[in-house]
Amino acid sequence: MRDTVVIGDIHGCGEELQSMFDRLRTWARDSRIILIGDLLTKGPRPDLVIEEILARQRLGWRIDLVCGNHEPRALAALRRAGPDGRTNELPPRLAEMVDILADADLLDDAQELLRRAMRTPFLRGRNPTWTTVHAGVDPEIGFKRTPQKVRMTIKSAPGEDDWWWNYDGKDGLLVVGHKPLSRPLILRRPDGRAVVAAIDTGCVYGGFLTAYRIGADRLLMVPSKQRRQFNFRRRTSRRPNDSAWRAASAAPARKLLR
Ligand SMILES: [Mn+2]
């Protein structure tokens, strides 16, 4: 295995995932790819998300799925819809997802993929020691004692500090998504090593789909094809004065498109 690359929240952005996979093609054969959760809901092409994952796996790519907070609700919607894809009892956005998947004849594949994601609450590796989980940890108690539900959903309220500024670094590098930011955020120790990589860059809101290569410590961003939402701008994470970490705000996005 040459390296591990983690891809942030996809949320039904199938075309952007396809572009990302195309960019990763040259070295994907001996690398491992991890999708960080929230695969199918909200966006326009959940069908293409599934087709892309299955097609690349058939080519021998190693792709692992981590569970996001949207996986259980997407699976519940598919179960309620049944084999005929009935959508009359579902909220509109989940009904739309089911409709698209039913049209593409992917209801069973979607359920199977979501079940697989739900069996994987987080993944860990070494060199450097890293953990990837959908949302993060409670910085007061560390990864091990943080309940799984919190690991999948922690997000600061507006005006509050994001949890990562108070993380003590003891669990090693954490690669997370869930909170959409205008740019990926990498927090670094004083010696420069990454300690948190936050890579949900709001693809479904018109931002970017971002991937982070753990070993190489590099970002790769694919611009979104979605309409930019009026309230998705200047989504930054303010560094409190007492944080031990320095923020490496990513270089202008254009430079990362390579
Ligand atoms: Mn999420």
> Residue 11 sits in a domain of what CATH number?
3.60.21.10
Instruction: Let me know the angle formed at the C-alpha of 203 by 202 and 205, rounded to the nearest 5 degrees.
Output: 65
Q: Kindly report the length of the chain.
A: 258
**Residues lining ligand 1 (ion), CB within 5 A?**
38, 68-69, 178
Using the mean position of ligand 1's atoms as its centre, give its distance from the Cα of residue 191 in Å: 31
Using the mean position of ligand 1's atoms as its centre, give its distance from the Cα of residue 203 in Å: 12
3-state secondary structure of 72: helix
Number of domains composing the chain: 1
Pair 110, 136: CB distance under 8 Å: no
What pLDDT, on the 0 to 100 scale, is given for residue 1?
64
| CA–CA separation, 79 and 88 (whole Å) | 13
What pLDDT, on the 0 to 100 scale, is given for residue 96?
97
Using the mean position of ligand 1's atoms as its centre, give its distance from the Cα of residue 156 in Å: 13
What pLDDT, on the 0 to 100 scale, is given for residue 46?
98
Using the mean position of ligand 1's atoms as its centre, give its distance from the Cα of residue 83 in Å: 27
Question: What Å distances lie between residue 43 and 5, 25, 47, CA to CA?
Answer: 22, 24, 10
What pLDDT, on the 0 to 100 scale, is given for residue 232?
75
The segments of the chain whose pLDDT lies below 50 read 252-258
Residues in CB range of 185: below 8 A, 6 or more apart? 164, 196, 197, 198, 237, 247, 248, 249, 250
Using the mean position of ligand 1's atoms as its centre, give its distance from the Cα of residue 152 in Å: 7
Using the mean position of ligand 1's atoms as its centre, give its distance from the Cα of residue 6 in Å: 15
What pLDDT, on the 0 to 100 scale, is given for residue 89?
92
Q: Which helix (H) or strand (E) holds 195?
A: strand 194-198
What pLDDT, on the 0 to 100 scale, is given for residue 238?
86
Angle between helices 107-118 and 92-103 (to 10 degrees): 120
Using the mean position of ligand 1's atoms as its centre, give its distance from the Cα of residue 112 in Å: 20
Using the mean position of ligand 1's atoms as its centre, give its distance from the Cα of residue 205 in Å: 13
What pLDDT, on the 0 to 100 scale, is given for residue 244?
87
Using the mean position of ligand 1's atoms as its centre, give its distance from the Cα of residue 247 in Å: 22
Using the mean position of ligand 1's atoms as its centre, give its distance from the Cα of residue 11 in Å: 9
Using the mean position of ligand 1's atoms as its centre, give its distance from the Cα of residue 253 in Å: 23
What pLDDT, on the 0 to 100 scale, is given for residue 229?
84
Using the mean position of ligand 1's atoms as its centre, give its distance from the Cα of residue 148 in Å: 13
Residues in CB range of 240: below 8 A, 6 or more apart? 161, 165
pTM of the entire predicted model = 0.94
Q: Which domain holds residue 214?
A: 4-256
